[in-house]
Structure 1
């Protein structure tokens, strides 16, 4: 049975060339980058080359790039680093209602510790209200953290407009964006957006898990999460994951010349799948911004449970999700759908389909057919069960 993998927002399959590069590094470039001998210097040079490569993709200086284990550590490193470094009694930090749990949970932690937290609402497409942001900014605001591309909806926030508002209201406020779902998929320029910090991740772009990076603008003072050997310019102690970093770099190299062309192909693929679903399935709702990231499609089916639909598709070799992998086991896993005001009858029947370069038109058409069949079958089953219950009552 052929597999059609449509859960790429959760993770992507490692590219064979990335795996090959990592294996070569593990076997032949195994030195510790902090060692002073030839093997250490060679490993350090490999890390330096990737640092320069990451910097070039977002328009910053290479010394402003620090390697991490991925998005969750990167978000924690920046948010906690900013807040813990401040000694003021009055602090305000601002985020949005649809952020990744690695942002929202940190904000919730600080709210419990008497720091003023503002969580901006979003409209039905998932966009924050820029006027609301402007109204909440003040002299006590030390941090604004807004996700660039939403992991469940694909909604793209206007980071340039947000940056202007933040810096006009308070030039000393740090502007951070979780850009894990956008990096090397949607162009980003940290200077143009007036960003002070950015989070990136490897395993969303065919690189290895356990590798990522953050951009922290020179002059932004953070308290390190980890202390020890002083690696990463004292910002992130611990021996660097050289194979992971090299794999991250190879994934970037493989994408940097083609991802803008790929963007339009993915957009057409997403549109094709939407058209097919709307033609073949009744009572559905496509969520988010139609002009958002084409890599993510969030769609709801009335009178169907998303988790049951997921497993029905899995039985046919088609893999989707019901939302963020990082919140799939939480009671509040539908908080993003709640934030956009999705009607209750649609919430339970929501799935996320996330694309990659490996998906073909034939895959999209087969997915439409499989969803249409599964939804029809599940709705008939639900209808029969309700009829039986009604007869039992009578």
Structure 2
């Protein structure tokens, strides 16, 4: 059978692949420690679960508007005003089945075949694939490790062509955990305004910041930038609701309307009980977000220095998210393995530690370690990694 060329062009998710392999080994009885998780290891807070349960008991089990429940859209508007000083109306909000889906919907809505989208590396694994599925062309701009994996205004300017439609900015970043400052975003924003580029601002890790780092949305910086920006966020990381699949976009009403039309023919609407859970997440905060953030910061503080003591590892301290992204080129070069991907496979097979190779993030010399796991498990994993490295 001949498949769609767009589907054939997709590279499988490296994070899901390593997670699946680790699960397979666990089911075979092996003591596997997984550091590949892209989700908090805490359960969803009880008050959110109870709100979703109550909604079902109250009969809220039918279709909702394609763009989401009016009450949830209003709660999102209130959140954006409170947390980000951004004023939106409900007509400028669409709720989707997770931030991944909302990103995919954006690209399907704004891209024509051949349009270019600037993607800053290291990048989240799904950005390039989503752009390709939508007929676009990913254009990569490398965030240098010596610049905290962040790009400069000059680099972005050099990448712009007459086919460039949009740029994706992810701050705090998956996989690096680095955040862009207000000044850095202002410079990138100037390039976007000068070239009439749409800005897709992925802010899903907004609530997970450490060492007094501050989250700034590029949409906050000026009315002109707000007009050019589609803010993407959701409850998955902040409220440990990855499986609930609730994300959203805030932006220009004309774009949001087209996205809603698309949703009406694809997903109909996000699960109604999950939407009620998200309403509770944004209106009944009981301190759970801060408790999780504080726990992640404690883990980062305790394990960061240890990572840099592993021979051949060099790691910069992230300001957000829950990942470490060490450069392991020296360790790999001293091993029998030719690539980081091969090294990662051997680490899983021999040491029973699952990490994600950097190839899928556009950074083949690095690996991603998630500290969304217990401190004891993470420290045990580092012991195993160090023993594996020392055997090479």
Q: Which residue matches 2:277?
A: 247
Q: Which residue matches 2:52?
A: 22
Alpha-carbon distance in 2 for matches of 1:250, 1:78: 26
User: Structure 1 residue 69 and structure 2 residue 103: aligned?
Assistant: no
Q: Displacement, 1:16?
A: 2.8
Q: Displacement, 1:166?
A: 3.2
Q: What is the number of equivalent residue pairs in this alignment? A: 329
Q: Which residue matches 2:15?
A: none
Q: Which residue matches 1:337?
A: 363
Contact 1:82–1:221 under 8 Å retained in 2: no
What's the C-alpha RMSD, in Å, of the aligned pairs?
4.0
Q: Which residue matches 1:371?
A: 382
Alpha-carbon distance in 1 for matches of 2:170, 2:60: 36
- SS of alignment partner, residue 191 of structure 1: helix
Contact 1:70–1:211 under 8 Å retained in 2: yes
User: Structure 1 residue 122 and structure 2 residue 122: aligned?
Assistant: no
- SS of alignment partner, residue 284 of structure 1: coil
Deviation track 1:107-157 (CA, whole Å, cap 9, x = no partner) reads 3346xx5x6653212212321232111233466533222222322221224
Q: Which residue matches 1:102?
A: 126
Q: Which residue matches 1:214?
A: 249
- SS of alignment partner, residue 131 of structure 1: helix
Alpha-carbon distance in 1 for matches of 2:193, 2:109: 23
Query: Any stretches of 5+ residues in structure 1 without a counterpart?
Result: 36-42, 231-235, 325-331, 384-394
Q: Which residue matches 2:28?
A: none
Q: Which residue matches 2:12?
A: none
**TM-score, normalised with respect to structure 1:** 0.67
Deviation track 1:215-251 (CA, whole Å, cap 9, x = no partner) reads 1233547743854758xxxxx8614422112222333
Alpha-carbon distance in 1 for matches of 2:133, 2:386: 43
Alpha-carbon distance in 2 for matches of 1:255, 1:185: 15
- SS of alignment partner, residue 126 of structure 1: coil
Query: Any stretches of 5+ residues in structure 2 without a counterpart?
Result: 1-30, 210-214, 338-342
Distance 1:228 1:367, change over 3 A: closer
Which is higher, the Rg of structure 1 or of structure 2?
A: 1
Q: Which residue matches 2:319?
A: 292
Q: Displacement, 1:69?
A: 0.6
Q: Which residue matches 2:154?
A: 131
Alpha-carbon distance in 2 for matches of 1:157, 1:197: 17
Contact 2:52–2:274 under 8 Å retained in 1: yes
Q: Displacement, 1:68?
A: 0.3
Distance 1:94 1:27, change over 3 A: same
Distance 1:91 1:138, change over 3 A: same
Q: Displacement, 1:24?
A: 1.6
Match of 2:235 among 180, 202, 215: 202
Q: Which residue matches 1:327?
A: none
Distance 1:165 1:228, change over 3 A: closer
Alpha-carbon distance in 2 for matches of 1:228, 1:299: 39
- SS of alignment partner, residue 275 of structure 2: helix
**TM-score, normalised with respect to structure 2:** 0.68
- SS of alignment partner, residue 145 of structure 1: strand
Contact 1:94–1:143 under 8 Å retained in 2: yes
- SS of alignment partner, residue 285 of structure 1: coil
Contact 1:128–1:157 under 8 Å retained in 2: no
